[in-house]
Amino acid sequence: LMRIRLSVKRYRPGSDLLPVWQDYRVEIRSDLTVLETLIQLKEEEDGSLAFRYSCRSAICGSCAMKINGSEKLACQTAVREELERHGDLRIESLANFPVIKDLVADMGPFWKKVGSVTPWLHFKSEGTRDASQKHLNREAFDHFHNVDACIFCGACASACNSLEVSPQFTGPAALAKAWRFVADPREAGDEKKARLGELIAPDGIWDCVRCNYCVEVCPKDVRPMEAIIRLRREAIQDGLGNSPAGRHITAFVEIVRKEGRLNEGLQPLKMLWRSPRLLLGVLPLAFNMALKGKLVLPWHWPIRGIRFVRKLFKTEGTKRP
């Protein structure tokens, strides 16, 4: 047995003005998980404490919460390990989700976003991308098997930097699910293009800032950010890269191919020349940079040894962004 102190962020919207941290002291077996500790706490000390769980086996995703600042499944997080690493135990609800009570996050907006990517197959037997592939073969499955492991716990959405500043962003879990269907060869090609067309809209794939936090916190190794990058690549290859964000990538690759390094003067021009309003918007910044001597002119010579860079681009897989 060990006696521990833990702090839980308590909040009842509607009756509490602000969340408050409440400290508890409990005696627990040293091999308990955070979820088992919360259950014991609720049964023995404070029946008003609210949290959500079901399977207790890292399957249902219900018990995701922030434990010592990181998104984790409470049922697979050992108290002893947390105490050894952090010295204490601080538990709060997922970030970027409204709170229903204490540790119970409102998953409603999250599910709505998952629903918005049409998370099911539009199977058309006469229009499959590969007519021989009415059943999924192993090779095709490998493209999205990580994504299929998602249990929709919401850990990635809680850790997402982009969602924090832009609550309308579709978010990592929903976009990873979208990749699962874009990568599925059983749908018709036009269906795939239609999906991608919706995903490149504002609040879609280009709003990810690639902080990688979703990958770090995911308890199932779904790697949502990788799925988003694959969606971007597909969109560009399907001719849907004509947005400032899409052109950022194509311009970047084109410049490096030609000059062997990034040209920070040319890059914004290549991205924005088709969007005069956005181009005008960056002029004050360019002016201020020029005043401070930090404006980079767009005319550069290629680096020495550029032929080696171009050779690299000629190898398979680097010809296209």
Q: Which is nearer to ligand FES, 76 or 250 (CB)?
A: 76
Q: Which is nearer to ligand FES, 61 or 154 (CB)?
A: 61
Q: What's the helix, strand, coil split of the chain in %, to 5?
A: 45, 15, 40
CB 51 within 8 A of CB 38: yes
Q: Which is nearer to ligand FES, 51 or 144 (CB)?
A: 51
Residue 83 near ligand FES by CB under 6 A: no
CB 160 within 8 A of CB 171: yes
Helix (H) or strand (E) holding 38: helix 34-44
- CB 89 → ligand FES: shortest distance, Å? 17
Residue 75 near ligand FES by CB under 6 A: yes
- CB 102 → ligand FES: shortest distance, Å? 16
Question: Exposure pattern of 268-284 as b/e (b: 16+ CB <10 Å)?
Answer: bebbbeeeeeebeeeee
Which of positions 44-63 make contact with ligand FES (CB under 6 A)?
53-56, 58-63
Q: Which is nearer to ligand FES, 36 or 187 (CB)?
A: 36
Helix (H) or strand (E) holding 157: helix 155-159
Q: CA 58 to CA 51: how far, in whole Å? A: 15
> Pick from 18, 27, 23, 29: which is nearest to 6 by CA?
23
Q: Which is nearer to ligand FES, 59 or 211 (CB)?
A: 59
Residue 156 near ligand FES by CB under 6 A: no
- CB 161 → ligand FES: shortest distance, Å? 24
DSSP state of 125: G
- CB 153 → ligand FES: shortest distance, Å? 7
Residue 73 near ligand FES by CB under 6 A: yes
- How many residues sit in the footprint of ligand FES (CB under 6 A)? 12
Binding site for ligand FES (CB under 6 A): 53-56, 58-63, 73, 75
